[in-house]
Structure 1
Amino acid sequence: MPAINPALASTFRPPVMEARRWIEGVSFPPERPLINLSQAAPVAPPPEPLRRAMAEAALNRADAHLYGPVLGRAELREAVAREWSRAYGGAIRSDEVAITQGCNQAFCAAIQSLAGPGDEVILPLPWYFNHKMWLDMQGIRTVGLHCGQDMIPDAETAAALVSDRTRAIVLVSPNNPSGAEYPAETLRAFRDLARERGLALILDETYRDFDSREGAPHDLFADPDWGEVLIHLYSFSKAYRLTGHRVGALITGPARMVEIEKFLDTVAICAGQLGQIGAAWGMANLRDWLAGERAEILARRDAMASGMAGLDGWRVKGCGAYFAWVEHPYRMGSAELARRLVHEAGVLLLPGTMFMPEGDAQASRHLRIAFANADRVGIAALLQRLAAFRP
Structure 2
Amino acid sequence: MPAASPKPLFNSLVAELSPPPVPSVFAWARAYDGTRGPMIDLSQAVPGYAPHDDILRWLGEAASSTKYCGYGPIEGETELREVYAEHVSALYGAHIGLENIHITSGCNQAFMCAAMAVAKAADTVALTDPFYFNQDTTLAMLGINRVLVSCDPDNAFLPDISDVRRVLESGVKALAIVTPNNPTGSIYPPELLREIFEACREKGVWLILDETYRDFLPGNAARPHSLMNIEGWQDNLIMLYSFSKSFCVPGHRLGAITAGAQTITEIAKIMDNLQICAARAPQAAVAKAIPALVDWRDGNRVEIEKRADALRQVMPKISGWDLVSVGAYFAFIRHPFPGVSSAVVSEQLAKRAGVVCLPGVYFGDNQEGYLRFAFANADVDTIAKLEERLSGFALV
Same fold, judged at TM 0.5 (above): yes
| Aligned counterpart, 1:256 | 263
Letter in 2 for 1:209: D
Q: CA deviation at 1:306?
A: 1.8
Q: CA deviation at 1:53?
A: 1.7
- Please give the secondary structure, in 2, of the residue aligned with 1:233: strand
- Please give the secondary structure, in 2, of the residue aligned with 1:161: helix
Distance 1:141 1:163 in 2: 15
Q: More deviation in 170-179 or 207-216?
A: 207-216
| Aligned counterpart, 1:53 | 58
- Please give the secondary structure, in 2, of the residue aligned with 1:23: helix
Are the counterparts in 2 of residues 46 and 240 from structure 1 also a CA contact under 8 Å? Answer: yes
- Please give the secondary structure, in 1, of the residue aligned with 2:241: strand
Q: Deviations over 1:68-116 (max 9, x none)?
A: 1000001111111111111101111111100000010000000000111
| Aligned counterpart, 1:11 | 17
Q: CA deviation at 1:26?
A: 3.9
Q: Deviations over 1:322-360 (max 9, x none)?
A: 100011112322111111111221111111110003xx3
Letter in 1 for 2:221: E
Are the counterparts in 2 of residues 344 and 389 from structure 1 also a CA contact under 8 Å? Answer: no
| Aligned counterpart, 1:147 | 151
Distance 2:380 2:18 in 1: 34
| Aligned counterpart, 1:33 | 38
| Aligned counterpart, 1:183 | 189
Distance 2:354 2:101 in 1: 43
2:117 alignment partner, one of 92, 110, 113: 113
Are the counterparts in 2 of residues 118 and 165 from structure 1 also a CA contact under 8 Å? Answer: no
Task: Determine whether 1:159 maps to 2:188.
Answer: no
Q: Which runs of 4+ in 1 moved over 4 A?
A: none
| Aligned counterpart, 1:69 | 73
Letter in 2 for 1:273: R
Distance 1:338 1:326 in 2: 11
Letter in 2 for 1:36: D
Are the counterparts in 2 of residues 87 and 215 from structure 1 also a CA contact under 8 Å? Answer: no
Task: Determine whether 1:196 maps to 2:202.
Answer: yes
Task: Determine whether 1:88 maps to 2:95.
Answer: no
* 5+ long unaligned stretches in structure 2: 1-6
Are the counterparts in 2 of residues 90 and 223 from structure 1 also a CA contact under 8 Å? Answer: no
Are the counterparts in 2 of residues 334 and 352 from structure 1 also a CA contact under 8 Å? Answer: yes
Q: More deviation in 101-110 or 35-44?
A: 35-44
Task: Determine whether 1:100 maps to 2:110.
Answer: no
TM-score for both structures, normalised by structure 2: 0.94
Letter in 2 for 1:347: V
Task: Determine whether 1:371 maps to 2:375.
Answer: yes
Letter in 2 for 1:307: V
Q: Deviations over 1:150-182 (max 9, x none)?
A: 211122212112355410001100000000000
| Aligned counterpart, 2:357 | 349
Are the counterparts in 1 of residues 101 and 256 from structure 2 also a CA contact under 8 Å? Answer: yes
Q: Deviations over 1:99-146 (max 9, x none)?
A: 000010000000000111211111111100000010010111111111
- The aligned runs of 1:210-229 (5 Å cut-off) are 210-212=216-218, 213-229=220-236
Task: Determine whether 1:247 maps to 2:242.
Answer: no
- Please give the secondary structure, in 1, of the residue aligned with 2:332: strand
| Aligned counterpart, 1:334 | 342
Distance 2:321 2:29 in 1: 24
Are the counterparts in 2 of residues 174 and 181 from structure 1 also a CA contact under 8 Å? Answer: yes
Identity %: 40
Q: CA RMSD in A?
A: 1.4
Residue correspondences, number: 385
Are the counterparts in 1 of residues 83 and 290 from structure 2 also a CA contact under 8 Å? Answer: yes
Distance 1:162 1:55 in 2: 47
Q: CA deviation at 1:40?
A: 0.5
TM-score for both structures, normalised by structure 1: 0.95
Distance 1:119 1:57 in 2: 41
Q: CA deviation at 1:317?
A: 1.5
Distance 2:193 2:314 in 1: 30
